[in-house]
Structure 1
Amino acid sequence: MPATGTPRHPGIAEAAEILRAGGLVAFPTETVYGLGADATDGRAVARIFAAKGRPSFNPLIVHVPDADAARRIAVFDPVAETLAAAFWPGPLTLVLPLREGHGLSPLVTAGLDTVGLRVPSGEMARALLRSVGRPVAAPSANPSGRISPTRAAHVRAGLGDAVDAVLDGGPCAVGLESTILRTSPLALLRAGGLAAEAIEARLGRPLPRDETPGRVQAPGQLASHYAPSIPVRLDVAGHDPDAILIGFGPVAGDVTLSATGDLVEAAANLFDLLHVADARARAEGKARIDMAPVPETGLGRAINDRLRRAAAPRIAQA
Structure 2
Amino acid sequence: METKIWSVDKNNEVEHSYPQLQEAARLLRENEVVAFPTETVYGLGANARSDEAVAKIFQAKGRPSDNPLIVHIANRNQLEELVKDIPNLVDKLINHFWPGPLTLVLRKKDHILSEKVTAELSTVAVRMPDHPIALAIIEASGLPIAAPSANTSGKPSPTLASHVIADLDGKIAGVVDGGPTGVGLESTVLDCTEEIPVILRPGGVTREELEEICGQVHIDKALVQENEAPRSPGMKYTHYAPKAPLTVVKGSLGFIQELVSIQQEQGKRVGILTTIEHEAEYSADVIVACGSVDKLETVASQLYDTLRKFDEAAVDIIYSEAFPDKGIGQAIMNRLLKAAGQQVIIEE
Scaled by the length of structure 1, the TM-score of the pair is: 0.91
Alignment-derived partner of residue 346 in structure 2: none
Q: Does 1:14 align with 2:20?
A: no
Of 113, 126, 145, which residue of structure 1 is paired with 2:135?
126
Q: Which runs of 5+ in 2 are unaligned?
A: 7-18, 344-348
Of 109, 122, 146, which residue of structure 2 is paired with 1:99?
109
Alignment-derived partner of residue 247 in structure 2: 233
Q: Distance in 1 between matches of 2:138 and 2:2?
A: 25
3-state SS of paired residue (2:299)? helix
Alignment-derived partner of residue 310 in structure 1: 339
Q: Distance in 2 between matches of 1:274 and 1:104?
A: 34
Q: Distance in 2 between matches of 1:61 and 1:94?
A: 9
The one-character-per-residue Cα deviations of 1:55-97 (angstroms, maximum 9, x if unpaired) are 1111000000022211210122222111111100000000000
Aligned-partner residue type, residue 322 of structure 2:
P
Aligned-partner residue type, residue 92 of structure 2:
T
The answer to whether the 8 Å contact 1:278/1:289 transfers is: no
Moved over 4 A (4+): none
Aligned-partner residue type, residue 20 of structure 2:
G
Alignment-derived partner of residue 271 in structure 1: 304
Aligned-partner residue type, residue 40 of structure 1:
R
Percent identity over the alignment? Answer: 40
Aligned-partner residue type, residue 207 of structure 2:
A
Of 198, 202, 205, which residue of structure 1 is paired with 2:213?
202
Alignment-derived partner of residue 298 in structure 1: 327
Q: Distance in 2 between matches of 1:131 and 1:223?
A: 33
Alignment-derived partner of residue 179 in structure 1: 188
The answer to whether the 8 Å contact 1:32/1:150 transfers is: yes
The answer to whether the 8 Å contact 1:58/1:216 transfers is: no
The answer to whether the 8 Å contact 2:293/2:299 transfers is: no
3-state SS of paired residue (1:291)? strand
Q: Distance in 2 between matches of 1:262 and 1:69?
A: 36
Of 77, 87, 91, which residue of structure 2 is paired with 1:68?
77
The one-character-per-residue Cα deviations of 1:180-222 (angstroms, maximum 9, x if unpaired) are 00012121100001111100111122x1111366444321222
* CA drift at 1:261: 2.8
Q: Which runs of 5+ in 1 are unaligned?
A: none
Aligned-pair Cα RMSD in Å = 1.7
3-state SS of paired residue (1:11)? helix
Alignment-derived partner of residue 243 in structure 1: 270
The answer to whether the 8 Å contact 2:5/2:177 transfers is: no
Q: Distance in 2 between matches of 1:279 and 1:92?
A: 32
